[in-house]
Amino acid sequence: MSARALTGSYAGLWLATITGAALAGVGAELQHVAPPRPTLEPTLSTLGELLAHNTLVALWPLALIALGWPGLAGARRVADALVAAQLLAHGLLVGSALGQHPQLWRYLPHLPLEWLAIAIPAAAWLTARGAQPGRPAWTPGAVAAIATGALAALAGAAAIETYLVPVS
């Protein structure tokens, strides 16, 4: 995966987050969010549930690569829009929540790793979609390795969210 694609995806998430916070700060809330309150029980079950949910959210661009979408012009355009929408929507929604409730930061120590886990498959998609026609950018083994890296970031984020987020 290109470092440029990864940096761009990760920076894009943070830019969308900052934009969402700024919009909420001037009264343009994208979604009304209730004040934060601790809700997660610090258990292995919680960690597993977070990891399972976030795996589906983060890794789906890798499925598009495995299905050969980078080589299909129409599918590539649809996937480009979906990947961009995912990065934008996640960043804007989290940013909007932060703009409405700045104290929410203390409940998000996992966010840098979670954003990285979302950015890795997005960057893999961007790299794959730019490959030479008829020549896949990633072998199945490479896609599996990318998924493993994203899963490691997700596991770290889930562990931090489960065990290090303040409960009061």
pLDDT band at 90 (very low <50, low <70, confident <90, very high): very high
Contacts of 111 (CB under 8 A, 6+ apart): 94, 157
Tell whether the model's pLDDT for residue 84 goes beyond 90: yes
Share of the chain above pLDDT 90, in %: 70
Tell whether the model's pLDDT for residue 158 goes beyond 90: yes
Q: Bigger pLDDT: 15 or 34?
A: 15
Tell whether the model's pLDDT for residue 151 goes beyond 90: yes
Number of independent structural domains in the chain: 1
Q: What per-residue confidence (pLDDT) applies to 14? A: 96
Q: What per-residue confidence (pLDDT) applies to 166? A: 76
User: Do residues 87 and 12 lie in contact, with contact meaning Cβ atoms separated by under 8 Å?
Assistant: yes
- How many Å apart are CA 168 and CA 166, to the nearest integer? 6
What would the pLDDT profile of 22-78 be if each residue is shown by its tens digit? Answer: 999 998 888 888 887 767 888 999 999 999 999 999 999 999 999 989 988 899 999
Q: Report the candidate in 48, 21, 17 with the shortest Cα–Cα distance to residue 119.
A: 17
Range of the domain at 98: 3-25+60-163
Show the tokens assigned to 22: 């700024």
pLDDT band at 118 (very low <50, low <70, confident <90, very high): very high
Give the residue carrying structure tokens 């890798």.
62
What is the average pLDDT score of the chain? 91
Q: Classify residue 80: in a domain, yes or no.
A: yes
Q: What per-residue confidence (pLDDT) applies to 168? A: 62
- How many Å apart are CA 102 and CA 123, to the nearest integer? 29
Tell whether the model's pLDDT for residue 94 goes beyond 70: yes
Element (H, E) at 36: none
pTM: 0.90
Tell whether the model's pLDDT for residue 133 goes beyond 80: no
Q: Classify residue 48: in a domain, yes or no.
A: no
